[in-house]
Structure 1
Amino acid sequence: MPISPNFTSILEQEYEINFLQCYPNGLLKYTDLCNIFQITAGIHADLGGISFSDMQEHHQAWVMSKMRLEIINLPKWKEKVTVKTWIKSLENSRSTRCLELYHGNEKLAGCETYWVAMNTQTRRPENLALQHEHFTKFPEHNATEKEVQKINLNIDFKAMNNYKVQLSDIDIVNHANNVKYLEWCLNTIDPKMILRQKIKGFEMNFLKELNLNDDVVISNCETTYTIAKEDKICFALDLIL
């Protein structure tokens, strides 16, 4: 797909929060906030000619490796919000993308994401085959107070739940979508923590792919959660409280 005449290096995309995206308290679900960010990143890639379809011509796709989300407030049902996104860095097979959520002029959340260009046949990282020089990079423009971090896994975890990956978890890259990992972990947490907005953000590390019918174990130690397949950790989550 050619570069859109509407392409800009910083994209602003508007949304209206609908009832399907909200918790019983009328606030946007954490998972749907991540979905909105993921969709906006995809729209920006489409406009800039580095979309999933463009990359598939070279048997490539973007997969998320790390994500840090810092939340000030969650928007409510029917509120109109704006997501801003830009590329902080893009070199070889790696890219860092930033996103911010606004209600009017009020910043509600910031997010930094770290992506890898993966060959969808070999399932291995490789240098991006598409041109991206038309994207201005903003290395000094941060959306979060801290950059994406590596989560410490050298602690004792306790198994909490077993899960089998369902078809509804699988996305167009033919693996479990990154937001699903967060959803599985949040489903093990006391609902009061979520409904009373005790969680102020998330640090997430995506370590290995999960596929349809994979059996996984969700474990926990204080604010850190893991998802493991055959004793190998595929995902780590650290709550920011």
Structure 2
Amino acid sequence: MPISPDFTSRLQKEWKITFLQCYPNGYLKYTDLCNILQLTAALHSEIGGISFRDMQVYHQAWVLSKMRVEIHRLPKWKDKITVKTWVNSLENSRSIRCLEIYQGDEKLVGCETFWVVMNTNTRRPESLALAHEHFEKFAERATNEPFSKIELQHDFETIATQKVQLSDLDIVNHANSVKYLEWCLNYVSVETIFQKEIQSFEMNYLKELSLNDIFDIQEKTENKKSIYKVQSNEKTNFALQIVFK
């Protein structure tokens, strides 16, 4: 679709937290937090003319490669929040997008995402075919810490074996990025989730999973940090690092 007349290089979008998005303690699920962030990013891409539909003309799609989320305070049921987003960089096949969640003047969450343009036929990265010069790039960042390298060389314990289901797939025909987080968080203690003890989490997407793929979930915990791996055929597809308060 053409660039919307309402397009601006910085977008603000208001959301109201519904009960469907909350844990039994009334606070927003970490998975739905990520969904809200990604929906806001998708909206900005849509009104800026570089959405999934626009890119599919060239058999392209944005694929999430990394995501870092720092949590100052979780919103809860019925809260009205504002998500602010802007593009930090966009060059060739790669882009860094920043997002922040506010309630009034209080910043609740900072997030940075790293995206790659993928050809949906070849499943390989390639330069963005669409014009994007109208997106002003802003040097400011949304998180206190940059993306980190998640250490995957230590011994991990396999805690579950699962199969990719139809409900896990998204419009790009692979397991949706938030599903990986959901699979791993199911093995974090309920007390940790309900007491809101997660300070930050970071995700690396390394190799896509498709329908009926079998995968293992592996875990390693040390001090105030847990690392999870999703692994298939002895290759790591996804890594999650959680830092606790």
* TM-score between the two structures when normalised by the length of structure 2: 0.97
* Counterpart residue number, 1:142: 141
**Contact preservation (8 Å) 1:11, 1:86:** yes
Match of 2:26 in 1: 26
How many Å separate the matches in 2 of 1:97 and 1:137?
9
- Name the counterpart of 2:240: 237
Specify the SS of the correspondent of 1:85: strand
CA distance in 1, matches of 2:60, 2:148: 25
Q: Which residue of 2 aligns with 1:199?
A: 198
- Structure 1 residue 154 and structure 2 residue 157: aligned? no
Alignment correspondent of 2:42: 42
Q: 1:77 maps to what in 2?
A: 77
Aligned residue for 2:192, secondary structure, equals helix
- Identity percentage over the alignment? 62
Any residues of structure 2 matched to 1:55-204 within 5 Å, and which? 55-139=55-139, 141-204=140-203
Structure 1 residue 198, shift from structure 2 partner:
0.8
1: CA distance, partners of 2:34 / 2:228: 18
Aligned to 1:110, what secondary structure does the other structure show? strand
SS at match of 1:226: strand
> Offset at 1:149?
2.1
Give, as a single letter, the amino acid of the residue that structure 1 aligns with 2:76: K
Secondary structure of 1:125's aligned partner: coil
State the alpha-carbon separation in 2 of the partners of residues 225 and 213 from structure 1.
21
Q: Residue type matched to 1:151 in 2? A: I
CA contact (8 A) 1:37 1:99 kept: yes
How far the C-alpha of 1:189 sits from its partner, in A, is 1.2
3-state SS in 1 of match to 2:178:
helix
Deviation at 1:146, TM superposition (A): 1.1
> Is the partner of 2:99 in helix, strand or coil?
strand
Structure 1 unaligned spans of 5+? none
Q: Residue in 2 aligned with 1:209? A: 208
Q: Which runs of 5+ in 2 are unaligned?
A: none
The CA distance in 1 between the partners of 2:24 and 2:49, in whole Å, is 39
Cα distance between partner residues in 1 of 2:133 and 2:97: 15
Q: In structure 1, how many angstroms separate the alpha carbons of the residues matched to 2:149 and 2:208?
A: 17
Letter in 2 for 1:225: Y
- Mapped to 2, the partners of 1:240 and 1:60 lie a distance apart of 34
Aligned residue in 1 for 2:11: 11
CA distance in structure 2 between the partners assigned to 1:146 and 1:79 by the alignment: 27
Distance in 2 separating the partners of 1:69 and 1:135: 23
Q: CA deviation at 1:154?
A: 1.2
CA distance in structure 2 between the partners assigned to 1:240 and 1:87 by the alignment: 26
Point out 4+ residue stretches in structure 1 off by more than 2 angstroms: none
Deviation at 1:148, TM superposition (A): 1.7
- Give the drift of 1:57: 0.2
Superposition deviation, residue 150 in structure 1? 2.3
Q: Which amino acid aligns with 2:126?
A: E
Distance in 2, Cα, partners of 1:154 & 1:57: 40
Give TM-score, length-normalised by structure 1.
0.99
Aligned residues: 240
Aligned partners of 2:149 and 2:97: how far apart in 1?
17
1:155, CA displacement in angstroms? 0.8
Q: SS at 1:124's partner residue?
A: coil
